[in-house]
Amino acid sequence: MPAQILDGKVISQEIIQQVRAQVDARVAGGKRAPALAVVLVGSDPASQVYVGNKKRQCANAGITSIAHDLPADTTEADLIALVQQLNADDAVDGILVQLPLPGHINAEKIIELIDPNKDVDGFHPYNIGRLALKMPLLRPCTPRGVMTLLEKTGIDLVGKDAVVVGASNIVGRPQALELLLARATVTVCHSKTRDLAEKVRNADVVVAGVGIPNFVKGEWIKPGAIVIDVGINRLDNGKLCGDVEFEAASQNAAWITPVPGGVGLMTVATLMQNTFDAAVKLNP
Ligand code: GUN
């Protein structure tokens, strides 16, 4: 039987509606709507699309988005000054600096400067450390969104073998921490991993985030496994495809996410949850 689809379109909309209801209740209680500052430096086309989606979903969730669109030649000092201003601004609950930043700006330095209580991306070392220590505050959006999808399967993750393909700071590493927090047995694979196929063949849960089209072969997927594809790759023909061979993997998996229409939408929905959570923490 082919896999059931974990539909990011439907599930992300559910989450945004949930946040909307929470925001409406908060506003009805006399508080202002949560506010997210969205900082974009330069005009990278993919980043412009992502930032546009974030602003649109803010509107759907009842969250105020405050755009800071800066030219590509913005100095590091100017960006630092902006982040410090946003940290100090009581009318701002969340700060998102879209990555990648231009080469002349040190992204790690900027991320570390964001107030961890407003770090709705969950990228600050403080927030990664909290996640590693089983006391998460703000959790990185994509891995948290993947956990929401996994919950929707109704399958208990305790003791399951999970394989994360990719070890990036944004996806693979925090994903491994999330799965560990859910008490799965976690293997993190990367470019130096030997016999990736054998690792994936043993996995009850596979999360792929490497950014290489069709990198994970469908025949590697264990019958009944859950397959989460974080990759969003544009092919020469203009089509989007994931990191997993979707059709072949669907023959083995019990559950699978499509690309597009899977994890990408969950990342933005989770950003709305994080912004609401940050607003409540800052102003209970
Ligand atoms: N660039 C690619 N993904 C992300 C993300 O989740 N957050 C930010 N800030 N930049 C990104």
Q: Which residues pair with 185 in a beta bridge?
A: 161
The three-state secondary structure class of 251 is: helix
**Structure confidence at residue 1 as a pLDDT band (50, 70, 90):** confident
pLDDT of 255: 98
Report pLDDT digits (tens) over 37-88. Answer: 999 999 999 999 999 999 999 999 999 999 999 999 999 999 999 999 999 9
Cβ–ligand 1 contact at 267 (below 6 Å): yes
Please give the number of the atom of ligand 1 that sits closest to the Cα of 99.
10
Ligand 1, atom 3: closest residue by C-alpha = 99
Task: Calculate the alpha carbon distances from 213 to 52, 210, 231 in Å.
Answer: 24, 9, 8
Q: Which of 48, 54, 98, 141 to mutate to test the pocket of ligand 1 (most atoms within 8 A of CB)?
A: 98
Give CA–CA dist 209/194, Å, rounded. Answer: 17
| Amino acid letter, 176 | A
CA angle 92, 93, 99 (to 5 degrees): 90
ipTM here: 0.94
Q: Which of 95, 99, 124 to mutate to test the pocket of ligand 1 (most atoms within 8 A of CB)?
A: 99
pLDDT at 103 over 90: yes
Cβ–ligand 1 contact at 107 (below 6 Å): no
Ligand 1 centroid, distance to 83 Cα (angstroms): 16
Report pLDDT digits (tens) over 179-236. Answer: 999 999 999 999 999 999 999 999 999 999 999 999 999 999 999 999 999 999 999 9
Domains of the chain: 141-264 (3.40.50.720)
